[in-house]
Structure 1
Amino acid sequence: MSQYLIEPEVPGCLGENTLANFDLHPPIIEKLHFQFDGWLGDDLLTSFPCFLVTERLATALSSSQLSGYNLEVAEISTSDVFEELYPECTLPRFSWLQVSGTIGKDDFSVTNDGLLLVSERAMVLLQRYQLENSDIVVYKS
């Protein structure tokens, strides 16, 4: 079964209200605050070491039998840059996609480099959503 590496759109950064241990690599995030500087419309986003999904993708994931993740609340805000560039844009709701799976066993996992790795089953679901600004390649272990 194929696996895929996904490098999602990076539309912002960890916000000032993020609680994390940055002494570790990758950092351990306890509370995620994500601040948007822009958004090109993708349903799967990242800012190392975290991933976000739109509410519509979160709903699909929750209805699936896919493994290796949890969906949690994230605080979302927009920067002054976002407000200036996208004054009419209303962001959808986002959930924090906490990836906890084991490579080769679960549908969602993270490589040692912090890249998102998904199974073929997960890729089938993800391809129903907007990933236009993600780099996706077949994973060679």
Structure 2
Amino acid sequence: MYKVIEPVVAGGLGEKTQMDNSFFPPVVKSLHYEFDGWLGDDILESFPCYIVTNALRSGIESENLTGVIFDNVTIYKSETFLELYPDKDLPIFFWLKITGEENKDDFFITKKNGLAISERAYLLLEKYDIQGADIEDL
């Protein structure tokens, strides 16, 4: 049994993101995520990419969940973020690259470009802050 999760969008792809738009979805080679705000969720999105806190990365790795690899992401705070949250620190984030196969791995991208997660992955994510995410059965 799988669910589709739509994480919060707390910003967008920054100007230093390198991607090839000749494909759909675009192929991102280097990710720069620019925060406009952040209410604490451990998984965030900006199409076509997902980022997770270091804490959630550790949880995913300790549970040996499949269908993901991690990479570095460059994080910036936008002017809006700095105005709204001048003293707010951000945790360390990692790029959550989805590599899984449909109905085989714990994470995979659906035909409609949604993020699907297994029951095992959902049970882990529930232990973290995912309050802003929309989650439905696949």
TM-score range, shorter chain: over 0.9
Aligned twin of 1:60: 59
Runs of 4+ in structure 1 deviating by more than 4 angstroms, as ranges, are none
1:4-19 equivalent positions in 2, closer than 5 A? 4-19=3-18
Aligned amino acid, residue 81 of structure 2: F
CA deviation map 1:43-80 (0-9, x unaligned): 01000000000010011112122100001100000100
Q: Is the 8 A contact 1:99 1:109 kept in 2?
A: yes
Q: Is the 8 A contact 1:34 1:74 kept in 2?
A: yes
1:119 equivalenced with 2:118 (yes/no): yes
Deviation of 1:85 after TM superposition, in Å, equals 0.5
CA deviation map 1:59-111 (0-9, x unaligned): 11121221000011000001000000111110000000000101100000011
Aligned twin of 2:104: 105
Q: Is the 8 A contact 1:48 1:114 kept in 2?
A: no
Q: Structure 1: where are the runs of 5+ without partners?
A: none
TM-score with structure 2 setting the length = 0.98
CA deviation map 1:8-48 (0-9, x unaligned): 00000000111100121100001100000011110010000
Q: Percent identical across equivalent pairs?
A: 43
SS at match of 1:101: coil
Alignment RMSD: 0.7
SS at match of 2:29: strand
SS at match of 1:122: helix
TM-score with structure 1 setting the length = 0.96
2: CA distance, partners of 1:28 / 1:112:
16
Aligned residues: 138
2: CA distance, partners of 1:138 / 1:15:
31
Aligned amino acid, residue 127 of structure 1: E
Aligned twin of 1:28: 27
Q: Which deviates more from structure 2 when the two are superposed, residues 24-33 or residues 112-121?
A: 112-121
Deviation of 1:115 after TM superposition, in Å, equals 1.0
SS at match of 1:131: coil
